[in-house]
Amino acid sequence: MLGKLTRWLRMLGYNVKYSNELDDAQLITITKKERRILLTRDLELYQQATAKGVDVLYLEGKTETEKLAELAKRFNIKLDIDMATSRCPKCNARVKKIPKEKVADKVEKSTFAYYNEFWECPRCGQIYWQGAHWKRIRKTLETAKENTKKPSQNKK
Ligand SMILES: [Zn+2]
């Protein structure tokens, strides 16, 4: 349910595990064992996790920006992407800067011509650059920052 949010948090540099296949008991066990924080929109899971002493946040926000704002407020997350610590949104590995010449045959010619900075995921091989989509990413984060200034609606 929180796949999009997972990708955002990874880009922001957080180590995020995501699964649709684990049941509630498994989620609670893993969260405890790996000392993670459980994020969920499932009220029943939230209550179970709380009862078992797991660090859990019940996300109420409807949009990504609302959810990001909830997280930023609760955990003091900085809503800025730092490529030095950013993680691959697909697989959670830290991306690494890669010299431009090494991506020549991995990206479109026009992308190669236009951009000079590239990052590669050492795990899945995905190449990243701050292309046209980057504006939208910044805008979303700015909106999320604005949302953190609104009074909280999270009563739990
Ligand atoms: Zn990856």
User: What's the CA-to-centroid distance between 120 and ligand 1, angstroms?
Assistant: 8
User: What's the CA-to-centroid distance between 115 and ligand 1, angstroms?
Assistant: 20
Mean pLDDT estimate for the chain: 94
Residue 151 has pLDDT above 80, yes or no: no
Report the predicted TM-score, pTM, of the whole model to 2 decimal places.
0.91
pLDDT computed for residue 10 by the predictor: 97
User: What's the CA-to-centroid distance between 90 and ligand 1, angstroms?
Assistant: 5
User: What's the CA-to-centroid distance between 119 and ligand 1, angstroms?
Assistant: 11
User: What's the CA-to-centroid distance between 105 and ligand 1, angstroms?
Assistant: 18
Q: What is the 3-state secondary structure (H, E, C) of the chain?
A: CCHHHHHHHHHCCCCCCCCCCCCHHHHHHHHHHCCCCEEECCHHHHHHHHHCCCCEEECCCCCHHHHHHHHHHHHCCCCCCCCCCCECCCCCCECEEECHHHHCCCCCHHHHHHCCCEEECCCCCCEECCCCHHHHHHHHHHHHHHHHCCCCCCCC
* Residue with token string 């045959």: 105
User: What's the CA-to-centroid distance between 84 and ligand 1, angstroms?
Assistant: 15
Average pLDDT over residues 63-90: 95
Average pLDDT over residues 39-63: 95
